[in-house]
Structure 1
């Protein structure tokens, strides 16, 4: 028997929100994977929590299946059931540990695992639990190309109702039978993967804009006709009032004709006024009908950062050669490292080789004022997110306006962002970047900058960073993003089980992780 997760006239808003995130949604979600698509802050995570039963709708009803699991974006804490998964000896547990390359020692050292390793563990545990409804929030965040392929293979084997929020278009296309497109307060179900759904959405928006333009022009013509009728009526009325006739002689045929004409003109004036009112009413009805087209507001995308180049002649960061401990006996060796005011550096390497650990070292060696540094980590805790939002809300009006302008051009709606508690991880990253931009940064350091961001936001971020005149250090598994923005690479390579080495290089293009395109310096 087919199993369905059913939404009936579902609406939802968080307490204190002025508008609904979701309004009157009807959807039947069958077994297989369904993508949940929409801009940052649109309510994708909220949709997953509603589906998993972690939130109750404000209105309407959700017919839940008997078991559900929600795997959140964050990887701060071990997933529920990890200890049971560690001890499990059944075939499913063994296969998942093999497919996702889960090592035995990971269970004992969660705090020292990379976010990519934590994400693999999180997904393995919820898949092993085998719920009827599985809701995954950005499952490919933090993971490298090899782990991503492992993950896709594991997710293809899931037999229940799967809900998937991801900015990874290839993942959505390869797994999903349909997608729910959320654009508050509307949510629309479309068949196929995200690419097909986005193309259908594009066509619908083009058609809606065309219809809207036709209605707009028709309303304008009616308004113009109404105005013309009114002016003619006023002129006719004025002529009638100016004609005064004394008592006419029976034989004054010309005078009688002028009097009859005056009476006729008065009737025409009254008729003209009535026609004008009728035309104005029809024009107003057409104007009101335009709201039915559901046309999304389009904001100017991308923004130019203010002049941010450091006045320093040589470096914004300098580190002498040394070694870093990565836990246990594993060491990361690195040479002397320098960053000039215009360098654009990609830090690459597989999960667990110390990229985030290296960033912590680098941030302690910057040669610029704290106000001139933008540092955005992989993960921002809920408390940190609240503090950032409070800081933004307390800004003077003019500064708040500058920050919100940047946020708009990164693809988010300021009003919804400021009233959401807490903002989504993608929105918090935009806020942090926008805050830094208004202060004229000399160095921007971002750890997995495309994590948590929707596809249009990634394009906006790429455009903004490509125009910035300051130094960049980017850690990312998104090779196309790095290729577009950087020209030097610090690659972390494993030389032996206990030795990782940083190899700096000038790059012609980003290839996989095999040094193709690198020119060693």
Structure 2
């Protein structure tokens, strides 16, 4: 059992954890969740002993082996397979002792122990883990120094999983993974036998892998039984109880204050008033549930364009005259929702850059609407934000001198940067806040096509849900690359598999694709697999398809309502202008020009009354459509 007893940690003069307490059963799979900046990583580092608590203690069995990924990724001339095998310290030590020429008696003990720890199957087990995380046989034999930081972190994760510690600690393990590797990891963790604590914002992982949720909020922890959906239900019930208790306490407080005010001055009731005053002073206030501005996402709607937005006809794209993708045939319409599937390195980002006009078509044709505006989000934009500038300065510079301060503030407000939040230094913002700022910047011109490449890496679960809602409310087209399956299922109507040097429509559902990845291991969408996906689906697939169909119908309904709002706005403006012209004519008949100059006074009054009636009806239509949008 892992026990946290009254853990308090203060860093930089700020209290991060305050009397955090929890008892985690042996063998439990615990999802550690909380808003960005709540202190999840601080708690995990306290568990492994990297941070000494100011108060409290961490208790666990003495012999327990703890596994945690260090911040520095492995490097050097060692290969991924060598690095993973070296993670089993006992096996490596026994093999080294054997190779050094141990005495015959000791050699027998070594062989017996190697058999006991299943050492001779270790290379196969290590290779399976590496394959699951995206390393084919050739990649397993290349030096670590030839890999990027993200791939090196995959090797670190593989080594940790291979070492099979008694307490496995994972801090956002899917951040450096694509969807395919994330699916494999989720499947691997389902069968992990020891105690596990995982910090994750992946709703599917938290539902499918963990059996407890440890919620960190306000420096304190609360343990819930079940996955994330069960946590949300229990949390909602608890918040409802708190809200009811606060309402009851507020009413009681008001009654006490009223009694004290009315009876303090009377000699006959002064003692009773003093008694109630003491009771009021001892009453511990129940905290009010505060709204969270960091959950604000609102993409501005573009002006309508005729379809198609983009057409690819046998196009190819690549770098330095070397094509990465060929024979591309794809059409994107103004209301499309596309998810690009495929392992990292297959060309998803290359295709996204082609659609964003950052790369030209090397062969074939790409036709795009001349009036189309594109918003393209990547992690590089988040990393390149100037830490010394404020969101207000970033947005003012991006929108140019022609933009009014009100327009700049309005765009920032759509993404939660209102009031003083707009003037904070970007360097002091959390990763999630910087991601929201980058999204605000790329959508400042109301793009017709939004291309999002891994937009959720810095967002917690609640912020991801807000982003899903914003994408479903958005009027333009969306192309999405993400390892968050929950987001893909709720936003994408079309799946495009990028694999084998091309991209093609995937006929199955996300459930079909998940089954394909887990059964094939490599995620190769061959003909048999595609046929299976088309024919398959089961009850789960049908449910997902129905959910996506409902999402599409919801967006169509919103689109129609917004069209009514725009038409009503224009009608109100036109009618108001006509009434203003009649009022001017009535005020100064001699100075009236144009068609109204020949109209007599009584007809002008009659015409004005008709316009007033039309204006009243137009305003009613406008308000009804706005209310319908709010209630949709």
Q: Shared fold (TM-score greater than 0.5)?
A: yes
Change over 3 Å in CA distance of 1:480–1:468 after alignment to 2:
same
| 2:31 equivalent among 32, 35, 42 | 35
1:512 aligns with 2:512: yes
Taking the TM superposition and a 5 Å limit, the aligned residue runs for 1:268-287 are 269-272=266-269, 275-286=272-283
Q: How does 1:430-509 map to 2 (within 5 A)?
A: 430-437=436-443, 440-478=446-484, 481-494=487-500, 500-504=501-505
Deviation at 1:299, TM superposition (A): 4.0
Between the two structures, name the one with larger relative contact order (CA 8 Å, sep ≥ 6). Answer: 1
1:168 alignment counterpart: 202
The answer to whether the 8 Å contact 2:30/2:197 transfers is yes
How many angstroms apart in 2 are the aligned matches of 1:316 and 1:388?
A: 36
Q: CA deviation at 1:36?
A: 0.3
Residue 193 of structure 1, CA deviation: 3.5
After superposition, the C-alpha distances for 1:31-69 in whole angstroms (9 at most, x for unaligned) are 433210112332223333333344444544445867644
CA distance in 1, matches of 2:382, 2:66: 24
Aligned residues: 457
CA RMSD of aligned residues (A): 4.7
Change (3 A) 1:149 1:475: closer
Matches within 5 A, 1:218-257: 218-229=252-263
2:630 maps to none
Q: Which residue of 2 aligns with 1:309?
A: 303
**1:257 corresponds to:** none
Normalised by the size of structure 2, how large is the TM-score?
0.59
Q: What secondary structure is seen at the aligned counterpart in 2 of 1:162?
A: strand
Q: SS where residue 218 of structure 1 aligns?
A: helix
Which SS does the other structure have where 2:285 is aligned? helix
CA distance in 1, matches of 2:437, 2:447: 15
* Pair 1:315–1:145, CA change in 2 (3 A): closer
Aligned match of 1:241: none
Structure 1 window deviating more from structure 2 (440-449 vs 338-347): it is 338-347
Matched, 1:375 2:391: no
Contact 2:334–2:449 (Cα < 8 Å) also in 1? yes
Match of 1:271, SS? coil
Whether the 8 Å contact between 2:494 and 2:505 is mirrored in structure 1 is: yes
Local SS of the residue matching 1:200: helix
Please state if 1:97 is matched with 2:127.
yes
Identify the residue that residue 20 of structure 1 maps to in structure 2: 15
1:322-361 pair list within 5 angstroms = 322-324=315-317, 331-335=324-328, 339=332, 341-361=334-354
Q: Distance in 2 between matches of 1:53 and 1:10?
A: 12
Deviations 1:129-176 (A, max 9, x none): 444543212334465665445323433554554220122344334443
Q: Structure 2 CA distance, aligned partners of 1:175 and 1:161?
A: 12
Contact preservation (8 Å) 2:80, 2:155:
no
Q: How does 1:84-123 map to 2 (within 5 A)?
A: 85-87=80-82, 88=85, 90=119, 91-101=121-131, 102-107=135-140, 108=142, 120-123=154-157
Deviation at 1:190, TM superposition (A): 3.2
How far is 1:116 from its partner?
8.9
Secondary structure, aligned partner of 1:51: helix
Report SS of the residue matched to 1:270. Answer: coil
Listed one character per residue, the Cα deviations across residues 223-273 of structure 1 (whole Å, up to 9, x for unaligned) are: 22333336xx5xxxxxxxxxxxxxxxxxxxxxxxxxxxxxxxxxxx33345
Structure ranking higher in helix proportion: 2
2:38 aligns to what SS in structure 1?
Answer: coil
Do the aligned partners of residues 9 and 118 (structure 1) sit closer, same or farther apart at CA in structure 2, a change above 3 Å counting? Answer: same
Q: Secondary structure of the residue that 1:176 maps to in structure 2? A: coil
Following TM superposition, by how much is the alpha carbon of 1:98 offset from its aligned partner in structure 2, in angstroms? 1.6
Q: Measure how far apart 1:121 and its partner are.
A: 3.7
Structure 1 residues 318 and 383 mapped into 2: Cα distance closer, same or farther (>3 Å)? same
SS at match of 2:237: helix
Structure 2 equivalent of residue 44 of structure 1: 40
Residue 210 of structure 1 deviates from its aligned partner by 1.7
Distance of 1:171 and 1:97 partners within structure 2:
23
Deviations, residues 346-393 of structure 1 (Å, cap 9, x unaligned)? 222345422123223333449899x9654332x4599546x3684427
Given that 1:372 and 1:436 are in contact with CA atoms closer than 8 Å, whether structure 2 keeps it comes out as no
Q: CA deviation at 1:104?
A: 2.6
* Structure 2 SS opposite 1:204: helix
Q: CA deviation at 1:13?
A: 4.3
The alpha-carbon distance between structure 1 residues 413 and 504, as it changes in their structure 2 partners (threshold 3 A), is farther
C-alpha separation in 2, matches of 1:393 and 1:58: 38
Q: Distance in 1 between matches of 2:496 and 2:440?
A: 27
Per-residue deviation, 1:508: 10
1:129 and 1:484 map into 2 onto residues whose CA distance is 36
How big is the shift at 1:187? 1.7
- Work out the CA distance in 2 between the residues paired with 1:204 and 1:313: 49
Q: Secondary structure at the match of 2:232?
A: helix
1:117 to partner: Cα distance: 6.8
Aligned with 1:179: secondary structure?
A: strand
Query: What TM-score do you get using the length of structure 1 for normalisation?
Result: 0.70
Higher mean C-alpha displacement, 460-469 vs 100-109: 100-109
Distance 1:356 1:112 in 2: 21
SS in 2 for 1:290: coil
Per-residue deviation at 1:15? 2.2
